[in-house]
Amino acid sequence: MMGRGRGAWWQDRFADRGARITAPREVVLEILQETDDHVTAADVYVKAHERNPSIGLTTVYRTLDMLTQMGIVQKFDFGDGKARYELVNNPGGKKHHHHLVCLRCKAIVDYTEFLDDELEFIGKTQQRLSKKYDFDITDHAISFYGVCARCR
């Protein structure tokens, strides 16, 4: 139903990198796929620990970091002292979106509108940057900052 064999879509990416598919890593991926929020490492840890009490916080951090480096997860910092994580491509989950951040109360609005123009612009820019700086670009993030109605 997805990918080759009976593995999930991300398993091939692990293989390419020589990373082992372990129980804790599977649990973390599961959890990320089930949520639509920007979760913190602690959030993931709590849920992971419920399913498998042997999973430690350290491993959650390490796994999230690995996934970030692989481009499977995107790491954000909205300014409240905790990093947030979310799947880059969540099949059947939340779709591509960007963020609108209130500089006062740190509220986050996820917007999915107006992405048609973006597609063209990002595509072209990514290609140019990629070539000029010899980067293997896998992702991007756009954030707008301002003050929300309630804080004004």
**Residues contributing to the site for DNA (CB under 7 A):** 18-25, 40-42, 52, 54-59, 61-63, 65, 81-83
Show the binding pattern over residues 53-92: x = contacts a second copy (CB under 8 A), - = does not.
---------------xxxx--xx-x-x---x---------
User: Is residue 146 part of the contact set for a second copy (CB under 8 A)?
Assistant: yes
Burial of residue 143 (CB within 10 Å: 0-12, 13-18, 19+) is exposed
Closest to 111 in 3D by CA, of 129, 91, 94: 94
Report CA 29 to chain centroid distance, whole Å: 11
71 binds, among DNA, a second copy, none (CB under 5 to 8 A by kind): a second copy
Q: CB–CB of 17/63 below 8 Å?
A: no
- Quote the DSSP letter at residue 39: B
Piece of 5-13, 39-47, 48-56, 126-134 that binds a second copy (CB under 8 A): 126-134
Yes or no: say if 93 and 33 are a contact pair by the CB < 8 Å rule. Answer: yes
Where along the sequence are the contacts to a second copy (CB under 8 A)?
68-71, 74-75, 77, 79, 83, 100, 102-104, 109, 111, 113-114, 117-118, 121, 124-126, 128-130, 132-149, 152
